[in-house]
Amino acid sequence: MVTRSSDHRASVGGRLVRATAYSLAGLRAAFRHEQAFRLEVLILAFVIPAGLWLGKTGVQRALLIGSWCMVIVVELLNSAIEILVERLWPEQNALAGRAKDICSAAVFSSILLSIAVWLLVLVTP
């Protein structure tokens, strides 16, 4: 006989597996269809070793690498919102354009923040 707690663990495990599969599918779709995402992943391939090498402490390494990972997260959100906007308002629409511009500003801001983190970590004694 299966107990309620083992049913719960199985359902949680199944949800985790499905959630992971959906997430990986999303990363593949972003890589396949989003040029900016591909560029940011390419930059990440340089950021990781540089951050590991240049960071003197674990916190510095986490800040250097994590700041660029945040750029990727914001880019994923930006891409998702842009896809929805294009789907819902394929014609020219001032509000849709504003939404896309604001998303672009979020990506730009995250890039500036990452640059600031790198400068502060590497330049500050």
- pTM for this predicted structure: 0.86
pLDDT tens track for 74-97: 999 999 999 999 999 999 899 999
How confident is the model over 111-123, as a mean pLDDT?
A: 97
pLDDT tens track for 96-111: 999 999 999 999 999 9
**pLDDT score of 7:** 61
Catalytic status, residue 34: no
Choose the catalytic residue: 75, 82, 86, 91. 75
Q: Are residues 9 and 60 in the same domain?
A: no
Q: Which domain holds residue 104?
A: 34-123
- Give me the CATH number covering residue 59: 1.10.287.3610
3-state helix, strand, coil in the chain (%, to 5): 90, 0, 10
Angle, helices 94-123 vs 58-88, to 10°: value is: 170
Q: Is the dihedral of CA 102, 104, 107, 108 positive or negative?
A: negative
Express as a percent the part of the chain with pLDDT over 70: 92
